[in-house]
Amino acid sequence: MTRSARLAGIGSFLPSCLVPNAQLAARMDTSDEWIRTRTGIRQRYFAEPGTTTSDLAAEAGARAMKSAGLAEVDAVVLATTTPDRPCPATAPVVAAKLGLAGRPAFDVQAVCTGFVYALATACGLLAMGCVDTVLVIGAETFSTILNPADRATSVIFGDGAGAMVLRSGQAAGNGAVGNGAVGPFDLGSDGTGQDLITVRAGGAEQRRSGSAPAPGDEYFSMAGREVFRQAVEHMAQSARAVLGQVGWQAGDIDWLACHQANLRILVRLADVLGIPEARVLANIAEVGNTSAASIPLAIDQAYRAGRFKAGDRLLLSAFGGGLTWGSTVLTWPDLTHP
Ligand code: UT7
């Protein structure tokens, strides 16, 4: 028997400021129709002034701990691209807000793949016996890095947070046996694509250049069409790799729980993998693309809507800046604290 990671609780949190497409169309050259047909998004939520990523993360984390029936956890891993500050990491702040000061806490930066990377990191901590419980959070305030002059990105992203509590368990063989089991993982990156999804200013590269940032470089930018193509390709390849590791076929998957980048990407990916559209979790219409928060947010909303039964097999896959990609599988547990 080897130590494995099991899902023990889940939660999510959305900020209160609802932004429908029409509100964006009133201040930039876009339309509700363009946004809906090209992305599937109808609305998103933005954090109100004064609310930061750590606030959203702490709320989602508290809900996940409540769902797990735990008042404390041994470690906090936070996936985010919008930390409260460039330095230090935001996870220790989240831990302190949750009354967990003193516990290990650190950030993982893999943009929209962040939650899958953070889950893998947490599984490693559990497998090594470093800790017995980990709070894994994906949280973003992407509204703070969107360029108001860039309609191509401003209409896509939203703020939010999702979290899972993992606890150690025993697993035989490939680790994916039994309700609640998380893993194995397939992870990858290709830094030659760093310009496709980026914030150019504010890091060592720009500061060392000796030049002031060019206008707009402090904001997030994305080469949408090329990213779309690579997202489908890499997520399909990665999802197949993890299915191969665990010995499952596409037909064994009850739910495709992917990063909510674009509804057209979700539909295309399901088609490529041979998974019926009815098994695709999609909440992008209501929340937009919430980057590292999107997978736990989509899973938590589906869970609270009563869509899962114990033993359901979920395939998680994500693609994002870096470039990065990753996939894993999760067998739905019997959660006793809904
Ligand atoms: O989450 C991390 C990973 N991210 C992704 O996977 C996102 C992947 N990419 C996408 O989802 C899509 O590429 C976008 C939604 C970003 C863009 O959709 P698209 O169908 O690829 O559009 P496009 O960039 O090829 O642009 C088509 C047209 C252009 O006009 P012209 O050149 O054809 O005249 C754009 O200027 O649509 C225009 N356009 C807009 N029009 C109205 C771009 N953004 C908008 C907008 N409203 N908001």
In a domain, 239, yes or no: yes
- The answer to whether the CB of 126 falls within 8 A of the CB of 97 is no
In a domain, 176, yes or no: no
307 CB less than 6 Å from ligand 1?
no
Q: What is the DSSP letter of 338?
A: -
Asked whether the predicted pLDDT for residue 1 surpasses 80, the reply is no
Say yes or no: 162 and 272 in one domain.
no
Say yes or no: 191 and 163 in one domain.
no
Ligand 1 center–CA 225 separation, angstroms = 6
Asked whether the predicted pLDDT for residue 329 surpasses 50, the reply is yes
In a domain, 190, yes or no: yes
Say yes or no: 78 and 218 in one domain.
no
In degrees rounded to 5, what are phi and psi of residue 162? -140, 150
Question: Confidence band (pLDDT; 50, 70, 90) for 238?
Answer: very high
Say yes or no: 106 and 132 in one domain.
yes
In a domain, 175, yes or no: no
User: Which residue's alpha carbon is nearest to atom 16 within ligand 1?
Assistant: 224
Asked whether the predicted pLDDT for residue 337 surpasses 90, the reply is no
Identify the residue with better confidence: 273 or 336.
Answer: 273
Q: Calculate the average pLDDT of the chain.
A: 95
| 3 state SS of 146 | coil
User: Which of 28, 32, 38 to mutate for ligand 1's pocket (most ligand atoms within 8 Å of CB)?
Assistant: 38
Q: Which of 136, 170, 204 is the last residue of a domain?
A: 170
Say yes or no: 286 and 309 in one domain.
yes
Cβ-Cβ contacts under 8 Å for 242 (sequence gap 6 or more):
184, 185, 186, 315, 317, 327, 328, 329
Q: What is the CATH number of the domain that holds 302?
A: 3.40.47.10
Say yes or no: 204 and 293 in one domain.
yes
Say yes or no: 303 and 266 in one domain.
yes
- Give the pLDDT confidence of 109-124 residue by residue, as tens digits: 999 999 999 999 999 9
Of 190, 198, 199, 200, the closest CA to residue 231 belongs to 190
In a domain, 119, yes or no: yes
Asked whether the predicted pLDDT for residue 177 surpasses 70, the reply is no
Question: Confidence band (pLDDT; 50, 70, 90) for 253?
Answer: very high
Asked whether the predicted pLDDT for residue 172 surpasses 80, the reply is no
Range in 169-178, 202-211, 237-246 the model is least confident about: 169-178
Q: Which of 110, 135, 170 is the last residue of a domain?
A: 170
Check residue 135 and give left, alpha or beta (phi > 0: left; psi -120 to 50: alpha): beta
Say yes or no: 95 and 211 in one domain.
no
Q: What is the DSSP letter of 157?
A: B
Neighbours of 224 (CB within 10 A): 17
pTM of the model: 0.96
- Give the pLDDT confidence of 188-226 residue by residue, as tens digits: 999 999 999 999 999 999 999 999 999 999 999 999 999
Give the ranges where the chain is alpha helix by DSSP (H). Answer: 21-25, 32-39, 53-68, 91-97, 114-127, 151-154, 204-208, 224-246, 263-273, 284-287, 294-304
Say yes or no: 224 and 315 in one domain.
yes
Query: Which one is catalytic: 112, 234, 258, 283?
Result: 112
Active-site residue flag, 174: no
Long-range (24+ apart) CB contacts under 8 A made by 265-274 are: 265/228, 265/231, 265/232, 265/235, 266/40, 268/232, 269/232, 269/235, 269/236, 269/239, 269/317, 272/232, 272/236, 273/236, 273/239, 273/240, 274/250
Active-site residue flag, 289: yes
**Count of structural domains, the chain:** 2
Q: Which of 117, 136, 170 is the last residue of a domain?
A: 170
Asked whether the predicted pLDDT for residue 19 surpasses 90, the reply is yes
Q: Mean pLDDT across the stretch 280-303? A: 98
Ligand 1 center–CA 62 separation, angstroms = 36
Say yes or no: 68 and 205 in one domain.
no
Say yes or no: 161 and 12 in one domain.
yes
Rounded percentage of the chain residues whose pLDDT exceeds 90: 94
Range of the domain at 135: 3-170
